[in-house]
Copies of this chain bind each other. A is one copy, B any other.
């Protein structure tokens, strides 16, 4: 079978397609999964270009969705033919994170899912939502769960609250959809009027073109009668965080997910204090949260927004397309 591996240093030329042996039969507690799809996140891109250092020869991609083809002894959650989706932190099953359970990340600290088949412990996967394509299911592992945790777990979001989603990438569009599912109001920012129109068609109550309004925090305050929003989906990082702080209400919540604009920068810490804001760093979530998210997707027939799908052989092109930043929602990989 084929897999993609990362070799050498620097840039997307690190991606190489390689033949590899089929995995053996699943042992006790394991399942054999035929992977059919993955999706791309900024984290995968940083791994792919070597900005996040990994083992030489690593198989990238944290997201993986497919079909169970074999079941080891003692596995009760799955049977052959089940459609499944991978977990970002497969050893973080439930509750709070401790170091040992967040040390394992497929596509980062261990081999990921840019491959056709894999044998892994059954608890590294959950069932996929009903009526989801494999590509749709693959979007949940990282982007879907990050948005769910930000709003539903950490929030916790209540109907009637206002959510500010920065941009129209995968996490932000999931956040828009979850927020509307739960009766919240949503403000979306983008530099593209076309994308903002798309966001409105998904239910966004207000949109702001930040090219036309570089001081978009002021627009947010105006849209909320000076009160500020209850939750910010902060995927930008240092360049956007100062305005995100000003855009949130006293006691507001900033889900800090992003490093799109850098890994550090000048932050107006006094504004955090006067806003009594909660800046909550988060990385995806645990398996129990993924199960609960999928229950909500099933109950509400919500489908993710997929911008474009590339075959695995064009993974490099897919990353280039992601890096260009023109997408709306998720970029998927067909395996």
On A, residues with C-beta under 8 Å from B are 76, 93-100, 102, 152, 156, 158-161, 178, 181-185, 205, 226-227, 237-238, 241, 250-251, 256-259, 262-283, 286, 288, 292-300
Give the nearest-CB partner of A282 in chain B. Answer: B276
Is A265 a contact of B266 with CB atoms below 8 Å? yes
Report the bound CA distance from A271 to B263 in whole Å: 8
Q: Which residues of B contact A270 (CB under 8 A)?
A: 237, 259, 263-264
Is B267 a contact of A266 with CB atoms below 8 Å? yes
Report the bound CA distance from A273 to B267 in whole Å: 15
Is B269 a contact of A160 with CB atoms below 8 Å? no
Give the nearest-CB partner of A258 in chain B. Answer: B273
Residues A160 and B263 in contact in the complex (CB < 8 Å), given A98-B250, A300-B183? no
Query: What's the nearest-Cβ distance from chain B to residue A323, in Å?
Result: 18
Query: What's the nearest-Cβ distance from chain B to residue A189, in Å?
Result: 19
Is A269 a contact of B259 with CB atoms below 8 Å? yes
Residues A264 and B268 in contact in the complex (CB < 8 Å), given A292-B158, A292-B160? yes
Q: Which residue of B265, B297, B299 contacts A184 across the interface (Cβ within 8 Å)?
A: B299
What are 8 sample pairs from A and B whose C-beta atoms fall under 8 A apart?
A: A93-B93, A96-B288, A97-B251, A237-B269, A238-B269, A259-B273, A266-B266, A274-B283
Is A299 a contact of B266 with CB atoms below 8 Å? no
